[in-house]
Amino acid sequence: MQIHHLPYADPGEPDVRSGTRFLLWLGRNQLGGQVKSLLWGLLLHLGIAGSPLGVGLAVQAVIDRSGGDLARAGALLAVLGAAIAVGDTMMHRTAVTNWITAAARVQQLLARKSAELGSLLNRRVAAGEVVAVSTGDVEKIGWFVETLSRFAAAATTLVLVCVGLVVYQPALGVVVAAGVPVLALAALPLLPRATRRADVQREKAGRATELASDTVAGLRVLRGIGGEDLFLGRYREASQQVREAAVHSARMWALIAAVQVLLPGLLLVVVVVYGAGLALEGRVTVGELVTVYGAVALAHHPLRNFEEIAMAYSFSRPSAKRAAGVLALTRTAATGPAAAGEPPAGETPAGDLPAGPLPLGETPAGGPPGGDLYDPVTGLLAPAGLFTAVVCGDPDAAGRLADRLGGHPPGEPEAHVSVLLGGTPLDELPLGTARTAVLVQDKDPVLLSGTLRELLDVPASGRVTPGDALAAARCGDVLDALAQASADPGGDPMDTRITERGRSLSGGQRQRLALARSLVTDPEVLVLDEPTSAVDSHTEARVAAGVRQLRTGRTTVVLASSPLLLDLADRVVFVRDGRAVAVGTHCELLAAEERYRAVVTRETEEDTLVDIEEPA
């Protein structure tokens, strides 16, 4: 895989059982690039390791006054120099390629998982952690993957050098062969402590990143309550903790680096002293001594890869663990009889809700299924083609219900019971088909930066134009504001750029633009969670009327408690304690259901009890 071939057509299915297994899986999936880097690394290291032999032969040729031997030594050095130049260039090229392609694979996996989980992702993983995984963690993971081949080349070179020296000059070669493994493994006792310190640094850095991300997201609110200094102090404290942890970790790595310098120096002293004695005894020649000395002196080059692989693993393992944790998240796992459309044993849905789903819709060829939307957990039924309002009373419960209707359980996937659309479990549909069939807009939708035209350029049926959607969401004032903000006076507001998350707009304007984006998609079922909570009552009534008119004949579910919305609904379902307990029109429920009236009219519990106790 080359850089210009990115992105991957299929990044594969990762092994996410642990961080180490994930790293090894990445290495295996880049076997071709690893082999190339290994071979070029061998050429580089062997060229460096062979240079002392050429120097030793040249020195001996001068001592022996042999012009032919000197010429041959010069030719050997020239060949080795060319090998070093080519090997260094190509190894760097292939190693960087391995780094970038590994990082790209991880980023694609994370992007695919984010698209699969949708809004469920930030309910299971903090937004700051997702940012940390997709940025810094990706780089550290790529670093370890690319060091694998360079480490393998260095280790192979050291083995070959030791064997070659034993064959070339047994008396000195045995000393080197005994000392090099000690040099390579000397840092092992220090690695656990260095790894722990690196883990602490990584944890503190992740917390600081999460704090910064959350602070930026809530900057407008912080400024409104004068809390900038408070959160600035918290971030400054977190930043100082990261600095202290980094210094603490760096000290250990400095000690490891010192060991990697000190021990080769000691081995070099031993070789020189012992070799000089052998030379005085006439057991080795000066050229052989120079060769062995040079080989030991240059051994630090491949030995540095041992330190680097240890450091790369220490830093990348927690990063890989975090990435594997995100990639291990699953969409759903429907189990139990209710997953097949049966309500819990001994329970019957309230009102006119059936004991099981009504398979009124059929699955058209090549398209999503149609029909009623049914939730076996709550007993909620949203008939096909109708405008259904759901009143929960608890905003958190409403949010969880909206997630479940979209196939995103907020709890453990193993305990999830699939929602059914036209009798078909939503979990059994391909992800793309399920997303086309049911679209959920939560109460805090996100607007991406870009022009309004780009914001509304989303996968859609084509039946609803951006103009129709903007009109239904009553975005006239938003268009006027964008036109005034346009760099070109009198320009098209559709081409005006919207800042990140729409922070230049008010909360109500952002909410209506998000609603218009959802209306443009024109899904089979549209689920809206408090779509008008940030607008005034007059605008809310107009938005509700616009949505109802535009969605005529399409299934729409709105979770809200506003009488202006409820009065326009074809049917209202009252959900209490996780079950649908009453169904009817808004007026019918106001008259017949005291608990419903208490939620909608904001009556206190005492007022409700008085109403219940008063005689008719």
- Tokens (6 digits) for 189: 């006792």
Gap between the Cα atoms of 289 and 602, Å rounded: 94
Gap between the Cα atoms of 440 and 233, Å rounded: 38
Gap between the Cα atoms of 187 and 259, Å rounded: 7
HSE-CB at 537 with a 13 A cutoff on CA atoms is 5
pTM of the predicted model, to two decimals? 0.67
- What are the C-alpha distances in Å from 378 to residues 87, 353, 523? 66, 10, 23
What's the Rg (C-alpha) of the chain?
34
Measured at the CA of 111, the angle between CA 109 and CA 116, to 5 degrees, comes to: 95
Residues 378-425 have pLDDT tens digits of 999 999 999 999 999 788 888 888 888 887 766 555 556 889 998 888
- Tokens (6 digits) for 82: 């060319």
Amino acid identity for residue 326 in this structure: V
Residue 470's closest CA among 382, 546, 549?
546
| pLDDT for the residue 579 | 92
Residue 553's closest CA among 362, 386, 336, 317?
386
Which residues fall within 8 angstroms of residue 4, CB to CB, at 6 or more apart? none
Gap between the Cα atoms of 386 and 367, Å rounded: 20
Gap between the Cα atoms of 330 and 500, Å rounded: 29
Task: Give Cα 212 to chain centroid, integer Å.
Answer: 17
| pLDDT for the residue 608 | 46
Q: Is 592:584 a contact under the CB 8 Å cutoff?
A: yes
- The stretches of 191-227 forming alpha helices (DSSP H) are 191-217, 219-225
Q: What is the DSSP letter of 8?
A: P
End-to-end CA distance of the chain: 79
Q: Is 483:493 a contact under the CB 8 Å cutoff?
A: yes
- Tokens (6 digits) for 24: 């090894």
| pLDDT for the residue 387 | 95
Q: Is 552:369 a contact under the CB 8 Å cutoff?
A: no
Could you say which residues of the chain have pLDDT below 70? 1, 119-120, 123, 126-129, 213-228, 331-369, 409-416, 487-490, 603-616
Gap between the Cα atoms of 382 and 306, Å rounded: 63
CB-based burial, 539-554: b 16+ in 10 Å, e otherwise: bbbbbbebbbebbeeb
- List the beta strands (DSSP E) in 234-314: none
Which residues fall within 8 angstroms of residue 50, CB to CB, at 6 or more apart? 76, 80, 83
- What are the C-alpha distances in Å from 318 to residues 16, 72, 201, 245, 308? 13, 52, 10, 15, 16
Backbone phi, psi, residue 458, to 5°: -125, 160
Gap between the Cα atoms of 73 and 153, Å rounded: 25
Residues 534-562 have pLDDT tens digits of 888 889 999 999 999 999 999 999 999 99
Q: Is 83:43 a contact under the CB 8 Å cutoff?
A: yes
Q: Is 168:289 a contact under the CB 8 Å cutoff?
A: no
